[in-house]
Amino acid sequence: MREEAYLESVLEVLHEKIAGIDAKMAGNEKDIESMHQYFWENYNEFDEYGYELFDNTNAVKARLKEQGDYVRERCRYEKMLYSPYFGRVDFCYEGEDTPEQYYIGIGNLAKGRADNPYVFDWRAPVSGLFYDYD
């Protein structure tokens, strides 16, 4: 039962992450649209040296790059919905009785930046235990 409960909590976090990214993407789309609208409405009024044009162009490019990052992150989380992790390492430190469990998957998954990960990326150092030992 413990494994099933853990899997459910991982899937719940994945759904929360996807919903959060969807909200960020929607807000970003509105910002990009308003930036384009401002650009075309005020194009003739930009300063003669091109500083405002440069700033506005860079702001739009930054938002588009951010949007692309969100798309890639959402795609990875969607893939993880079907298989959140593919391995587990039980590691017992010297002098301890209960092992710590590390789940290995295609990407990191944690609720927040400072929280302990539910799933470690397969390239993380702790994942070497999965590949190096039986």
Expressed as residue numbers, the domain containing 16 is 1-83
Residues 57, 109, single domain; the answer is no
Note the pLDDT tens digit of each residue in 89-105: 888 888 888 888 999 99
Q: Torsions phi, psi of 69, nearest 5? A: -60, -40
Residues 45, 76, single domain; the answer is yes
Tell me if the pTM is above 0.75: yes
Residues 32, 68, single domain; the answer is yes
Number of domains the chain contains: 2
Residues 79, 108, single domain; the answer is no
Residues 31, 79, single domain; the answer is yes
In the predicted model, what is the mean pLDDT of residues 110-115?
87
In the predicted model, what is the mean pLDDT of residues 19-42?
89
**Residue 65 Cα distances to 28, 61, 117, angstroms:** 11, 6, 26
Q: How confident is the model at residue 54 (pLDDT cuts 50, 70, 90)?
A: confident
Residues 1, 36, single domain; the answer is yes
Report the alpha-carbon distance of residue 19 to residue 53 in Å, rounded.
34
Report the alpha-carbon distance of residue 11 to residue 60 in Å, rounded.
34
Q: What percent of the chain has pLDDT over 70?
A: 97
Residues 94, 33, single domain; the answer is no
Q: How confident is the model at residue 19 (pLDDT cuts 50, 70, 90)?
A: very high
Residues 94, 74, single domain; the answer is no
Residues 97, 128, single domain; the answer is yes
Residues 13, 76, single domain; the answer is yes
